[in-house]
Amino acid sequence: MKAKALVLEKKRELSLREIELPDQLGPDDVRVRIHTVGICGSDVHYYTHGQIGPFVVREPMVLGHEASGVVTDVGRNVSHLQVGDRVCMEPGIPNPSSRAAKLGVYNVDPSVRFWATPPVHGCLTPEVIHPAAFTFALPDSVSFAEGAMIEPFAIGMQAVVKARMQPGDICVVTGAGPIGLMVALAALAGGASKVLVSDLVEEKLAIAARYKGITPVNIARESLREVLDKRCGQDWGADVVFEASGSPKVYDDVLACARPAGAVVLVGMPVEPVTFDIVSAQAKELRIETVFRYANVYDRAIDLIASGKVDLKPLITETFDFEHSIDAFERAASARPNDVKLQITLDT
């Protein structure tokens, strides 16, 4: 099937054009008319750099992986979704027979196919075919825009699950970008009593500070550990430190802020390998966890949004229509400090 799509032709070259896309509705698939797609840092990175780590754009690829839409057809084995259902999609499709899938950690299945990760096409096109097992109905109270935010929020959910948080935990999140904010909101929903969010950019911290429970810390001006001690009234540290900046300079702060026997959750992805002081981590017996995307958190993420306990709406900065997708990507690549999430809507 030929369809119009936002195509990354190669590094620094986008076009909105017709491209051949799969059209076979398998028995376990649904067909979805795409409504809203969020632009992710990874989409922008493929556009500006042509690769992320080992994933290199070698041929034209449709971008986009944060999507919501409406079911327009269902395969013959599909029973939990019907035509007309409003849905959002988990963009990573594992091999269901893989060892990783059987262990419940399908996000680290080496054969996972993830939208807009070369060579797999993404979802910035009016219609997609997707496995029903990775397609989730949205309650009426969750908008399409929020539905397209479930994907980044799922990373925050995964980070909190990996942290094994307890009620009342004091948390630090380093990095106030979109993922840092998602982690902070998931930590609050997960029972954190206080969340300190650090960054160097005042505009980003101001957005974080709009949420009750979040304390912004500008590390250009103040020491994160000192603020933490003052806020917690003790020289002990945070129960959980989430690293969400990807900055190579942040690890001293991360280790310094974790309490003895606390947890460090590495979410941010540094572009280059980094070194950090293992003995500092050992001296506190820190538990270090890593996060790669997410597994088995989508339905909980949707329920949290529907319950009103997590409000992602303030993080949607601007919405572009499909015809202006390239403008939306240029805007995202310009990285305005006030922009959190830019979305593209195909339903006009």
User: What are the residues binding Zn ion (CB under 5 A)?
Assistant: 40, 66, 152
**Residue 154 CB, nearest distance to Zn ion (Å)?**
9
Residue among 37 and 165 whose Cβ is closer to Zn ion? 37
Question: Judged by CB, which is closer to Zn ion: 123, or 165?
Answer: 123
The secondary structure of residue 316, as a DSSP letter, is: E
Which phi-psi region, left, alpha or beta, contains residue 246 (left: φ > 0; alpha: ψ -120 to 50)?
A: left
DSSP code at position 120: B
264, 254 Cβ separation under 8 angstroms: yes
Q: Which is nearer to Zn ion, 66 or 339 (CB)?
A: 66
Q: How far is CA 61 from the centre of its chain?
A: 20
Q: Quick one: 92 or 152, whose CB is closer to Zn ion?
A: 152
Rounded to 10 deg, the angle between the 41-49 and 325-333 helix axes is 90
| 40 vs 332, beta carbon nearer Zn ion | 40
CA-CA distance, 267 to 300, in Å (whole number)?
19
Q: CB 43 → Zn ion: shortest distance, Å? A: 7
Distances (CA, A) of 177 to 165, 174, 206, 274, 317: 22, 9, 11, 20, 13
Smallest gap, in angstroms, from Cβ of residue 69 to Zn ion? 16
Closest CB 48 distance from Zn ion, rounded Å: 15
Shortest separation between residue 217's beta carbon and Zn ion, angstroms:
25
Which residues 6+ apart lie within 8 Å of 84 measured at CB? Answer: 70, 71
Residue 206 CA to chain centroid, in angstroms?
Answer: 20
What's the closest the beta carbon of residue 342 comes to Zn ion, in angstroms? 12
CB 195 within 8 A of CB 213: yes
Q: How many other β-carbons are positioned within 10 Å of the β-carbon of residue 147?
A: 26
Nearer to Zn ion, 171 or 342 (CB): 342
Q: Which residue has the tokens 């409504």?
A: 35
Report the candidate in 45, 301, 38, 41 with the shortest Cα–Cα distance to residue 155: 301
Instruction: State the minimum distance, in angstroms, from the CB of residue 332 to Zn ion.
Output: 12
Nearer to Zn ion among residue 65 and residue 194 (C-beta):
65
- Between residues 115 and 211, which has the closer beta carbon with respect to Zn ion? 115
The nearer residue to Zn ion, 162 or 293, going by C-beta atoms, is 293
DSSP state at residue 94: -
Alpha-helix runs per DSSP H in 76-177: 99-103, 144-147, 150-163
Q: Which residue is nearest to Zn ion (CB)?
A: 40
Q: Shortest approach of Zn ion to residue 292 CB, angstroms?
A: 13
Tell the smallest beta-carbon distance from residue 269 to Zn ion (Å). Answer: 12
The residues near 289 (Cβ < 8 Å, ≥ 6 apart) are 162, 163, 263, 264, 265, 266
